[in-house]
A and B are shown apart, each in its own frame.
Chain A
Amino acid sequence: GESVGLHLPTLSVQEGDNSIINCAYSNSASDYFIWYKQESGKGPQFIIDIRSNMDKRQGQRVTVLLNKTVKHLSLQIAATQPGDSAVYFCAEAANFGNEKLTFGTGTRLTIIP
């Protein structure tokens, strides 16, 4: 079946540096993509989303890039802080509706003080 996956299961970054988390997707029908952050013992927290008619979207300290040609999604976090340590998931949905999100396995980001 088609799935969403992540290239790196773990990532350690020095505090203050930038981090990039990558995600590959294989469902060509997907047109809506979301990044979630999940801290231990909590539910996923929305970070940023992007629709397929865009290739870049910026938020506060975060940027999502979408490359539809190679079906690749990335999350860039600028000037990382200890509070950024968490597991990050990409998720996808089709038909501009997100009733049914398909999540990847997740990447654990650790910020080194």
Chain B
Amino acid sequence: DTGVSQDPRHKITKRGQNVTFRCDPISEHNRLYWYRQTLGQGPEFLTYFQNEAQLEKSRLLSDRFSAERPKGSFSTLEIQRTEQGDSAMYLCASSETYGGRNEKLFFGSGTQLSVL
């Protein structure tokens, strides 16, 4: 499978616990994105990387959230001290830049987080 891969697919945790999600983008893609999607809504942008550099963060990304892409390949999204409001689908996407232009995003199947 050469698509965007996310792990785990589902995560159930208790309020106050820390969780970490992993995303493996399509191998030649230099850009990686995190989005969050709640039930019945469209995805909301959280942050994105170009190679290992984190270039933009949404105000949705509170200080309990941190994302890394240390080697410019896979990325992790960590949520500390989870709250019930963090329950959502966390989507990862990747794209490549070509001729200075960013090409279309390919999404993974997401990690569904449930905070009890």
Contacts and interface: CB of A to CB of B under 8 A. Distances in A.
Given A89-B42, A103-B44, 7 more contacts: A4-B42, A44-B91, A46-B106, A96-B101, A101-B45, A101-B105, A105-B42
A98 to B, nearest CB: 5
B-side interface mostly: strand
Interface in B22-44: 31, 33, 35, 40-44
B108 A91 contact: no
A43 to B, nearest CB: 3
B43 A100 contact: no
Contact of A106 (B31, B40, B106, B110): B40
Contact of B105 (A46, A89, A102, A104): A46
29 contacts: A34-B104, A41-B109, A42-B109, A42-B110, A43-B93, A43-B107, A43-B108, A43-B109, A43-B110, A44-B43, A45-B107, A46-B106, A98-B95, A98-B104, A99-B56, A100-B45, A100-B48, A100-B56, A101-B35, A101-B43, A101-B45, A102-B45, A103-B41, A103-B43, A103-B44, A105-B41, A105-B42, A106-B41, A106-B42
Contacts of A46: 104-106
Contacts of A102: 45
Interface of A: 4, 34, 36, 41-46, 49, 89, 91, 96-106
A62 B109 CA distance: 23
A-side interface mostly: loop
Nearest to B93: A43
Contacts of B102: 97-99
